[in-house]
Structure 1
Amino acid sequence: MDLQLLAALVLGIATIVVVVLRTRLDAFIALLLAALVTGFVAGAPAADLVDHIATGFGDTMRSIGIVIGLGVGIGKILEVSGAADALARTFVRAFGKGREAWAMAGSGAVVSVPVFCDSGYVIMNPLARSIARRKGAGYVTLALALGCGMTLTHHLVPPTPGPLGVAGILGVDLGGLLVAGLAYSVLLLPIVVIYARWMGPRLEAHVSPEVRAQVYGEVTVPAGGGSAPADAPAAESAESPAASPSESPAAALGEPPEGQRPHRVSAFLAFLPLLVPLLLIVANTAATAIDQERQGALGGDDYEPSRVAELLSFVGDPIVALLVGIVLAVYLLLPRWTPRRAVSGWLAEAASSAGLIILITGAGGAFGAVLRATGVGDELAEAISSWNLPAVLVPFLIASLVRVAQGSGTVAMITAASVTAPLLDGLGLSALMAGLACCAGSMVLSYFNDSYFWVVTRFTGLDGTAAIRGWSGITTAVWLGSLPLLLVGSLFL
């Protein structure tokens, strides 16, 4: 491998680590500085480097920025209306007491099949918060289980874009990859729950005061995950027309007019602002897949999607779908006596909390764009493909190293598939196993250059080494768990 590109990668990662852990600057600045350091060391022209940073930031914002803002808004309305509590009670009853982590991991895995995990996590995170609030502890465990449950199916199960791309490049039967990916996800789900239950309580004390106040109200959670003493100081909240995170839903909504019943939200209505956007996105995914299959069957490049597919493509776009969700949340979950000023205040609070998440997520995309543009990922892929390894490990390690180098799991698995495709005959490896190896390898070590890392850790309230131990650790655990599954599968498939 080119030593200059290797040095660029190492120094870029070192910049993030040093700035985040040893300075007063935040992750947003650290990621932008790392992008500059990596680009300069790799020899990128200054004008092109700035363009790569701006393009990477813009592309990331285009795909997830509005979605985060709308999703946080839905979450705020779920919180203040009492809908999140209604959902939490329903989930606990459905899965049984003591199985909340299984509920989060399983529901996350299901949701992430048709929905990008970034969007799905934003939509589902209020459930984890509400369950933790009712228990008085355990938010980190639930947040990690939810996030990594989504990671499994996002990386392993079509119709998410990465596995679809891998299937097309390697010529894998899509149905076979779907079944195998689902099977691997089910087998890896216990690792998600076990790691979350093991590491979560150890990280509760590291949750930021702001997130702790949002989740637990006035309760301060110590390292053991229990409640704080009664005289523990409450987190301060900024003045606004909206209720503070510590207020109960009833207090947030105010007293009903005389003769009106106290406001209660049914579980059915509480689900609608989440379920309708998810169904719209699923319908879009299904319609697109059917149209693509018809186009392939017709063998023509001029195929035009049907009107139904075009309509579903519009209403099922995550931005439109979540816009529908926030309208439903405001008009179905809040009582009629809620003043417009209060609703505006809650949505303003949501936008404020989403701002830093959006900036950091965009900066992660900018760093990944610089890594891709400088050719670090391609160099790693070419180097690992020449090593003498068991056949199934070649695509697995290519995807793993590219993922570490540039952050995007989708890019990692597609790069690995592209490098592996001409090597299949020589490796004696089936296309299906090569595809699974590309997908599984891309799950490794979600960290600073992965936009999903910032979504999960900022919503969870973890920073620095706590974020690495929690989120980077759980993604690496499922990556390791997939390795024996791949070695066994290569004996039969």
Structure 2
Amino acid sequence: MTSLLILLALVAAIVLVTARWKVSPFLALMGAAIIGAFAYRIPLGEVVTTVTTAFGNTLGNIGLVILFGTMIGVILERSGAAIAMAEALIKVLGTRFPNLTMSLIGYIVSIPVFCDSGYVILNSLRKAVTLRTGVSALATSIALMTGLYATHTLVPPTPGPLAAAENLGVTDDLGMLIALGLPVAAVAAIAGLVYASLFSRKEFTPLPAESDDDLAEQSYEELRASYGRLPNPFLAFFPILLPLVLICASSIVKLPGRPIGEGAVFDAVSFVGTPVIALIFGLAAAALLLRGHGKLERFNDQIGESVRVAGPILLITGAGAAFGAVLAASPLTGFLSDNLSGLGLGLAVPFIIAAALKTAQGSSTVAMVSTSAMLAPMLPALGLDSPEGMLLSVLAVGAGAMVVSHANDSYFWVVSQLSRIPVATAYRTLSVATAVEGTAAFAAIGTIGFFLL
């Protein structure tokens, strides 16, 4: 019982220092790892080795994947590829179903692009669709927000799912994680879309713009013109589709029974489908989006920006792994095995822990890293140590990391302020929307688990 109380105290401390005192999640997780090692009486000679080995191994396994994925996302954002993808989808879907259009655009764009950045660059497009169709801005805001959020927490190569996959030991099976994550994210996005449609004719008094050049006041035409000539739609989609196809193909050829046998073709497909190699190909495809004079300089600038964006995520991921390693080396594992195995909680545990951390401290990525690190030693006790159980655990963590976005989440403010939604209205709509889609995602995961586990 003491082991569990120590864990609860460490989790409460992480939430307190990150949410109330705004301490860096990296320092909070690393501090929890060190303090936890002493609290669990891990031999002094093993403390440093336990922490540094887990930190280094995790960054070695997943660091480049996160970095290359971030590079692709930044180039797609800066090159206008996200706008090109959105326009291509609008040509197909038209403006007859604006909420569906915004949800689908968000669902696709947020696979490589952070949901915060995705909303910023797509907000003017959302405004244009809203004005063209006469639907409520509240509805299109919720649809875009939830569409972006679905793949952000459930589909690699977004850093949160990647970090959770590393902590739970499924990075060698990312193809299957993507294959499961995409339909689960679709269920989440559909739930958000249905909820958004309830507000299609809902009027509200928008907040005034803070200034004349406020980003929310930028017209879609101005935003589009700022990118110059947009990339070809096929080239815009290609950096996303190429690595996903390569990773999935690698997983298929490695299935039991070896569908294409073993030999040179098997080795080649396995190699190019390795996440790092697949994302390098995706980065090369993204580089094709850069045009005109000075494209090499712009490429270098965007790579430098990617490193700055990915740096904190890498540190948090490594610190989360160190915390998880301390828990795995503690008496907690035995306690959980003795007391959890008969309760039948299963996938509810990762979902509840991630939801609690997300709601308390705001960051979905931090919630996913922290929860997966804590969950790793619990998997056998929960009956989730099979390959299918570990994959579904990653998705359950992602579903929980949606619940609930509110005032301590930067994404809540990005959406509410750019859409000029009053805070009281945002609490009643945006926060509820994330709870709805997170719960829907978990229901889909539970249904899959019923057949696979």
Q: Report the TM range for the smaller structure's normalisation.
A: 0.5 to 0.7
Q: C-alpha displacement at 1:32, in angstroms?
A: 0.8
2:104 alignment partner in structure 1? 103
TM-score (norm 1): 0.60
* Structure 2 unaligned residues grouped into runs of 5+: 128-136, 157-164, 171-175, 199-203, 217-221, 358-369, 415-425
* Structure 1 unaligned residues grouped into runs of 5+: 112-119, 155-159, 166-174, 199-222, 236-246, 253-261, 296-303, 388-392, 422-431
Is structure 2 residue 314 aligned with structure 1 residue 351? Answer: no
Task: Say if 1:140 and 1:460, in contact at 8 Å, map to a contact too.
Answer: no
Structure number with bigger Rg: 1
- Which deviates more, 47-56 or 439-448? 439-448
2:78 alignment partner in structure 1? 80
Task: Say if 1:84 and 1:126, in contact at 8 Å, map to a contact too.
Answer: no
Question: How has the CA–CA distance of structure 1 residues 61 and 268 changed in structure 2, closer, same or farther, with 3 Å as cutoff?
Answer: same
Q: How far, CA to CA, are the matches of 1:187 and 1:443 in structure 2? A: 13
Q: Pick from 352, 368, 380: which aligns with 1:415?
A: 380
Question: What is the percent sequence identity of the aligned residues?
Answer: 26
Is structure 2 residue 248 aligned with structure 1 residue 282? Answer: yes
Aligned-residue Cα RMSD (Å) equals 5.3
Question: How has the CA–CA distance of structure 1 residues 345 and 442 changed in structure 2, closer, same or farther, with 3 Å as cutoff?
Answer: closer
Is structure 2 residue 318 aligned with structure 1 residue 362? Answer: yes
Residue 98 of structure 2 aligns to a residue whose secondary structure is: coil
Task: Say if 2:50 and 2:322, in contact at 8 Å, map to a contact too.
Answer: yes
Q: C-alpha displacement at 1:472, in angstroms?
A: 8.9
Q: Pick from 10, 16, 25: which aligns with 2:8?
A: 10
Question: How has the CA–CA distance of structure 1 residues 316 and 81 changed in structure 2, closer, same or farther, with 3 Å as cutoff?
Answer: same
Is structure 2 residue 275 aligned with structure 1 residue 273? Answer: no
Q: How far, CA to CA, are the matches of 1:135 and 1:182 in structure 2? A: 23
- Which deviates more, 6-15 or 368-377? 368-377
Q: Deviation per CA, 1:100-135: give whole Å up to 9, x if none.
A: 464167659xx9xxxxxxxx5558986555433422
Question: How has the CA–CA distance of structure 1 residues 193 and 65 changed in structure 2, closer, same or farther, with 3 Å as cutoff?
Answer: farther
Equivalences for residues 134-283 of structure 1 within 5 A: 134-135=125-126, 142=144, 144-149=146-151, 190-191=190-191, 193=193, 228-231=209-212, 263-283=229-249
Q: How far, CA to CA, are the matches of 2:326 and 2:55 in structure 1? A: 10
Q: How many residues align?
A: 388
Q: How far, CA to CA, are the matches of 2:391 and 2:30 in structure 1? A: 33
Task: Say if 1:87 and 1:271, in contact at 8 Å, map to a contact too.
Answer: yes
Residue 99 of structure 2 aligns to a residue whose secondary structure is: coil
Question: How has the CA–CA distance of structure 1 residues 39 and 249 changed in structure 2, closer, same or farther, with 3 Å as cutoff?
Answer: farther
Equivalences for residues 391-430 of structure 1 within 5 A: 393-396=344-347, 407-408=371-372, 411=376, 414-415=379-380, 418=383
Q: C-alpha displacement at 1:45, in angstroms?
A: 2.1
Task: Say if 2:58 and 2:321, in contact at 8 Å, map to a contact too.
Answer: yes
Q: C-alpha displacement at 1:458, in angstroms?
A: 8.0
Question: How has the CA–CA distance of structure 1 residues 471 and 312 changed in structure 2, closer, same or farther, with 3 Å as cutoff?
Answer: farther
Task: Say if 1:399 and 1:412, in contact at 8 Å, map to a contact too.
Answer: no
Q: How far, CA to CA, are the matches of 1:402 and 1:382 in structure 2? A: 20
TM-score (norm 2): 0.65
2:289 alignment partner in structure 1? 333
Q: Pick from 308, 331, 336: which aligns with 2:265?
A: 308
Q: How far, CA to CA, are the matches of 1:322 and 1:37 in structure 2? A: 37
Q: C-alpha displacement at 1:278, in angstroms?
A: 1.6
Q: How far, CA to CA, are the matches of 2:236 and 2:353 in structure 1? A: 41
Question: How has the CA–CA distance of structure 1 residues 55 and 19 changed in structure 2, closer, same or farther, with 3 Å as cutoff?
Answer: same
Q: Deviation per CA, 1:415-445: give whole Å up to 9, x if none.
A: 2564799xxxxxxxxxx9x999978866664
Equivalent position amino acid for 2:336 in 1:
L
- Which deviates more, 53-62 or 343-352? 53-62
Q: How far, CA to CA, are the matches of 1:46 and 1:185 in structure 2? A: 44
Residue 333 of structure 1 aligns to a residue whose secondary structure is: coil
Q: C-alpha displacement at 1:6, in angstroms?
A: 0.8
Q: C-alpha displacement at 1:66, in angstroms?
A: 1.4
Residue 47 of structure 2 aligns to a residue whose secondary structure is: helix
Q: How far, CA to CA, are the matches of 2:280 and 2:60 in structure 1? A: 15
Task: Say if 1:413 and 1:439, in contact at 8 Å, map to a contact too.
Answer: no
Equivalent position amino acid for 1:98 in 2:
N
